[in-house]
Structure 1
Amino acid sequence: MDPVYAKARELWRFSIRNPEAFWDGVARGLAWFKYYEKVVEADHPYYYWFKGGKINPTYNVFDAHPERKNKVALIWESESGERRSLSYQELFAEVNSLASSLKEIGVKKGDVVTIYMPMVPEAMVAMLAIARIGAAHNVVFAGFGSQALRDRIKMSSSSFLITADAGFRRGKTIDYLKTVKEATEGMDVKVVTLERQGRVMGYNFKDFTSRLKKVEAERSDSLDPLFILYTSGTTGKPKGVVHAVGPYTVWAYFHVKWLFNFGEEDVFFSTPDIGWINGHSYSTYGPLLNGATVLWYEGVPDYPDPEVWWYLVEKYKVTHMWVAPTAVRLLVKHNVKTKYDISSLKTIVSAGEILGEEAWKWLVDLTQGKTYVIETWGQTENSGFITSPGGFYVGGISYKKGSVGIPLPDIDVAVVDDNGNELPPGQKGNVIIKSSAPAFMVGLYKDDERYRQYFSRFGYYYTGDYGYVDEDGYLYILGRGDDVIKVAGHRLSPAEVENAVLEVPEVAETAVVGKDDPVKGSVLVAFVTLKEGLRPSEKLKERIRQTVRNLVGPVASLDDVIFLDKLPKTRTGKIMRRVLRAVVSGKEVGDVSTLEEAEALEELKRVVKP
């Protein structure tokens, strides 16, 4: 038996049998102002972790570890080559300065402070300063427009906003202040602006970080909110996921240590934006709580050229990298091999949605098979990943191609049918979590009814995902439950069909959806983009159809193959399958406020004849 797998499963079994003993052991690796009275108090579906404990994540990043002061905490580089580096001591000084200034303008414990900023060092400073004084941050992705920002300020009851006057993307300037002015019109919101192009609304961020003042870390209660993060559902208003100080700090520290177990010389290139959970857990809290050096890049993976990521890997001797599948698929489309030395890379971790075999193989080939290319799985609601293929804490990686790994300690994954009956290994169904863990949200902000809905269907936490586990406990995610397509009584996962489409060498990206059909209920339609310089043809369309029939079977026959220049995606890069389904079936597309490029939707409507 693989020793990494054996060790990981041994710890998992212990944690399932003895969750309180397990988490007490982990939590005591952190600095508490006051130890908790109880590890967990359960009143399903509510779980109160480390009740009575007092802790602050910034105390654990800075005050508790003076030996880190000269180590580099953050390296930042922009598209234009602008660079900045902050040691733990320098970062701590800026966090203290901003924290004292925020207190002076009225921010107090329990307040919600909205952050609307690009990936600049000051965004990290803002998150940590807010946490230091016991307030909660509400980070809004800086790609959102004024209405989305206004909604999130209102829904979170936020009276403070930290922003920048501008950002830079693909060589263009993005005017954030225009968006902020529209979003806050008629609202009583105090604004702090990072001046990058000489414009300030409200207070000047640079004035706030130039004061050499020390602020003692707030002794936050374990169950105080650390942050609210709004997730966009397919319908209805966004959900404000609340993570609490104690459980989130313990989980962020532990699960990042579990996977990476950073050494003194490691450099972690985390590409996720702070507007999403992966940007909270892997661009900020997780690596800093473990004393790591994290690299941020303000830009996109193919600008100024498709090798910019690999240039940064060589320049900073990056050892671990966190990527989104859509970014990898973008690089696959460019199909550029790298001239840079990326041999320092130990792992490339993909998360956010299914990577797909083609993108996985491309990364393996790019790194000459010398780097672990792995997938993990998790959600905003559970702080990031909750499954992984082992980790360096337990000795290394034990990866099975196509899987997202095995559950982390105290994560009890099961697959059930639509009636809630647990399914044996290999059978596909609804993915649920039967246990609690510090990873999980403590609620939805001012929306208890929607929080309870996570548990109402099966009695346990329903992830909304569709997949299966194998005989060794490895989990395979096939897509969202509402993406599963029923064709003539058969349930087909889009991922299975999409992997078959991607076997055709000309294909860069694909999304397969169901189109309403009066006889079969649904028929399959594949939307396809091609690699650079290639053109669609009827011959290629037929080859795609035949490949799917050969690999998946006659039940997966494609009714149509539609070629597009761009697939409609959210600003996080997730393909908007519901929009594809709606257009191809002649229905209303609904809310598209998270759409990255309007041109993609316009092309889709022009090309598709429902």
Structure 2
Amino acid sequence: MTFDTLLDEQRRYPAPPAFAAQANATPEWADAARTAAEADHVAWWAEQAERLDWAERWRSVHTWRHPVTDLDTVAALPTRPAGDTPVGATWFAGGRLNAAVNCVDRHVASGLGDKVAYFWEGEPGDRRSLTFAELQREVAKAANALTALGVEAGDRVVVYLPVLLETVIVTLAIARIGAVHSLVFGGFSAEALRFRVEDTGAKLLVTSDGQFRRGNPVAVKAQADAAVDGVASIEHVLVVRRTGEQTPEIPWTADRDVWWHDVVDAQPDTHVAQAFDAEHPLFVIYTSGTTGRPKGLVHTTGGYLTHAATTHWALFDPKPDDVYWCTADLAWVTAHTYELYGPLLNGVTSLIYEGTPNTPHPGRHFELIERYSVTTYYTAPTLIRSLMSWFPGGLPAGFDRSSIRLLGTVGEAINPEAWVWFHEQVGRGRAPIVDTWWQSETGAAVMAPLPGVSTLKPGSALRALPGLRTLVVDEQGVEVPRGSGGYLVIDGTWPGMARTVWGDPDRYRDSYWARFAEQGYFFSGDGARYDADGDIWLLGRVDDVINVSGHRLSTIEVESALVAHPDVAEAGVVGVSDATTGEAIAAFVVAGAEFEGRSDASPEASDRAAALRAHVASAIGPIAKPRDVVFVAELPKTRSGKIMRRLLVDLAEGRTLGDTTSLQDERVPLRIAEVLRGH
């Protein structure tokens, strides 16, 4: 199978000379790294592992037993994560290290104790900061508290908190004592939280009395209680006081529930850290559940930290005076790698923000950029498109963005027009954009431009980073020619790769390694295409591909064409049943309040819909014209900013909606259903 790829983006942005002159990853470094990695990628990654402090050296750099072709050998491997789940890969096995020591203690020892590790701002405007020395003391106290609560190495701790400094502190403390953390977005339902608590067999839940959402204090302790009610593995619930008297009715279970300020704050602020094997599990992170039962992906310590440190250094070009801001919620893998571990491993000052980007006004992010002199701003395409809709005439002159020198995107493929807006409006036409492709499964970035080296193409992550190899292949695993599309795969192994699915190694094997077992490829689940230069363009999840009269079209390409129209802020495109063509294209379009909910049969909306269809036909061909154009106020998105196209299909087809617990706003599908009834 190949994809019909029709969009042809020709704009190019070479690396700015001033940026290239000071970049960490220079053309010389990139050439040497690619040459060395292509010759022996295992040896190259071993060299990158020297970025970390090791208490003991490893016995072997890498072993690999394919989960399909070497199944018997995999089952017999001695190194396994907690839960006795077989591992197919090891990296740096026998080497011993401590994640928290690498993130914090070694920087204090090297003289960076007075450097700010984190600036934090709450949604109501309250502010705190922690230096590396202060962070070291706070993590030590939390580690002592966890031990006092009976948490030991290998135990699982679920963290259900908003973006707070306590979230960072407890995550590092869990890693410090060798327990396994699993962070859950603070807006998830009790049902979604309960699944993760039960699936991991967690001993401790860390939560808060409440949190702030869009300007309002909201109690969450009752949801946490419902999630752990009757769960035999839970021994304690550790509660951070966040909303206090603003959410006074907090349920409490004696002998189980304990306050953070009572237990953590009373502990000694020193802690002797133990080193753990590189293959010791560090965290379990769950996929969003947008396509079925969430998968708990197991990431281990040494390889993951190596991948995180290396890619953060090469892609985000950290400098001693940088203030780096990754806008992801701390529960997402983006934040694990590029808000927690990556920046801390490289000794970088980060900003973290508790609230939503338009509370109390749409310019809140730019207010924060100015206040903290943010130099690197890493965010999701969905937020960029929202900013475009909030500031249709461009950003007001009152926001000082002069500190920004580098931008980044993550989450899903970015539409070229949104990329250009981001570059011109937020980056002032000067800041390179690091468009990263990776997944929860990969642990860290796999494809991205090197900002001081690459000529950027709006909408493309270009190609694999040194030490990694990606291909676009057909159903037989044969690489497709230039200009064609197919399945995106990773050829071989890499240090940050998830080792298994928690408690379900068969699902790990079947989801990622079975489809192209003969070739040894990891199947990403994404479609992609090569351009004439061999660079790669993402086409979205293969489940989202639309088959119109035998033409397999990418939702990303059609959405990009729509977003390029000046009247469209966002678009979600899906395939729906059609008696003539098999499938037809339905486009859900955010195009201004005056069109929200209006049937495209009304004169004004009909004219706008016709203009959009003509625009798509002109941009990528008549076959891609949407049959239906539905004007909506918002699109259903996951908490990590991805459009839930599955729900749009369910709505368009009149089916019962599936799981919606991962939505940013569970009211959005109901509003879209009302619009569809009007059609």
Distance in 2 between residues matched to 1:387 and 1:470, nearest whole Å: 15
- Aligned: 1:363 with 2:455: no
Residue 384 of structure 1 aligns to a residue in which SS?
coil
Deviation per CA, 1:134-168, whole angstroms, max 9, x where unpaired? 00101011110100001100001101011111111
Aligned-partner residue type, residue 439 of structure 2:
Q
Residue in structure 1 matching 2:360, options 298, 304, 312: 304
Residue 546 of structure 1 aligns to a residue in which SS?
helix
- Aligned: 1:261 with 2:317: yes
Contact kept, 8 Å, 2:651 with 2:669, in 1: the verdict is no
* Residue 501 (structure 1) aligns with: 562
Over 3 Å counting, the alpha-carbon distance change for 1:200 and 1:96 in structure 2 is farther
- Aligned: 1:185 with 2:229: yes
Distance in 2 between residues matched to 1:303 and 1:213, nearest whole Å: 36
User: Mind listing any 5+ residue stretches in structure 2 that lack a counterpart?
Assistant: 1-13, 21-25, 68-87, 245-249, 599-604
* Residue 47 (structure 2) aligns with: 25
* Residue 484 (structure 2) aligns with: 427
- Aligned: 1:585 with 2:658: no
* Residue 342 (structure 1) aligns with: 401
Distance in 1 between residues matched to 2:498 and 2:297, nearest whole Å: 6
Give the RMSD, CA atoms, in angstroms: 1.8
* Residue 204 (structure 1) aligns with: 259
Residue 663 of structure 2 aligns to a residue in which SS?
coil
Over 3 Å counting, the alpha-carbon distance change for 1:54 and 1:472 in structure 2 is farther
Return 110-119 or 232-241, whichever deviates more: 232-241
Residue 368 of structure 2 aligns to a residue in which SS?
helix
Contact kept, 8 Å, 2:97 with 2:276, in 1: the verdict is yes
User: Mind listing any 5+ residue stretches in structure 1 that lack a counterpart?
Assistant: none
Contact kept, 8 Å, 1:141 with 1:276, in 2: the verdict is yes
Aligned-partner residue type, residue 96 of structure 2:
K
* Residue 208 (structure 2) aligns with: 164
- Aligned: 1:451 with 2:508: yes
Contact kept, 8 Å, 1:325 with 1:355, in 2: the verdict is yes
Displacement of 1:554:
1.5
* Residue 490 (structure 1) aligns with: 551
Aligned-partner residue type, residue 195 of structure 1:
R
- Aligned: 1:437 with 2:494: yes
Distance in 1 between residues matched to 2:671 and 2:595, nearest whole Å: 18
Residue in structure 1 matching 2:440, options 380, 390, 393: 380
- Aligned: 1:389 with 2:389: no
Distance in 1 between residues matched to 2:516 and 2:560, nearest whole Å: 30
Contact kept, 8 Å, 1:193 with 1:200, in 2: the verdict is no
Contact kept, 8 Å, 1:333 with 1:532, in 2: the verdict is no
Normalising by structure 1, we get a TM-score of: 0.96
Displacement of 1:426:
2.0
Deviation per CA, 1:584-603, whole angstroms, max 9, x where unpaired? 12333322222222321112
- Aligned: 1:569 with 2:637: yes
Contact kept, 8 Å, 2:51 with 2:309, in 1: the verdict is no
* Residue 47 (structure 1) aligns with: 89
* Residue 405 (structure 1) aligns with: 462
Displacement of 1:571:
2.1
Displacement of 1:232:
2.5
Deviation per CA, 1:99-131, whole angstroms, max 9, x where unpaired? 011101100000000000000100000100000
* Residue 273 (structure 2) aligns with: 217
Residue 118 of structure 1 aligns to a residue in which SS?
coil
Displacement of 1:513:
0.8
* Residue 156 (structure 2) aligns with: 112
Residue 497 of structure 2 aligns to a residue in which SS?
coil
* Residue 10 (structure 2) aligns with: none
Return 489-498 or 463-472, whichever deviates more: 463-472
Displacement of 1:234:
3.6
Distance in 2 between residues matched to 1:75 and 1:364, nearest whole Å: 25
Contact kept, 8 Å, 1:270 with 1:321, in 2: the verdict is yes
Displacement of 1:6:
6.7
Aligned-partner residue type, residue 480 of structure 1:
R
Alignment of 1:88-99 (within 5 A): 88-99=132-143
Contact kept, 8 Å, 2:469 with 2:490, in 1: the verdict is yes
* Residue 582 (structure 2) aligns with: 521
Contact kept, 8 Å, 1:390 with 1:406, in 2: the verdict is no
Return 57-66 or 1-10, whichever deviates more: 1-10
Distance in 2 between residues matched to 1:141 and 1:456, nearest whole Å: 31
Displacement of 1:195:
1.0
Displacement of 1:532:
5.4
Normalising by structure 2, we get a TM-score of: 0.86
Distance in 2 between residues matched to 1:396 and 1:526, nearest whole Å: 37
Aligned-partner residue type, residue 61 of structure 1:
C
- Aligned: 1:63 with 2:88: no
Return 536-545 or 445-454, whichever deviates more: 536-545
* Residue 23 (structure 2) aligns with: none
Return 24-33 or 202-211, whichever deviates more: 202-211
Size of the aligned set, in residue pairs, is 607
- Aligned: 1:195 with 2:241: yes
Aligned-partner residue type, residue 126 of structure 1:
V
Distance in 2 between residues matched to 1:9 and 1:480, nearest whole Å: 31
Distance in 1 between residues matched to 2:672 and 2:181, nearest whole Å: 37
Aligned-partner residue type, residue 334 of structure 2:
N
Among all aligned residue pairs of Structure 1 and Structure 2, give the percentage whose two residues are the same amino acid. 37
Distance in 1 between residues matched to 2:225 and 2:298, nearest whole Å: 27
Displacement of 1:10:
4.1
* Residue 37 (structure 2) aligns with: 15
Residue in structure 1 matching 2:386, options 330, 352, 357: 330
Displacement of 1:396:
4.8
Residue 60 of structure 1 aligns to a residue in which SS?
helix
Return 128-137 or 44-53, whichever deviates more: 44-53
Over 3 Å counting, the alpha-carbon distance change for 1:603 and 1:200 in structure 2 is closer
Q: Which has the higher contact order (CA 8 A, sep 6+)?
A: 2
Residue in structure 2 matching 1:478, options 532, 535, 539: 539
Residue 522 of structure 1 aligns to a residue in which SS?
strand
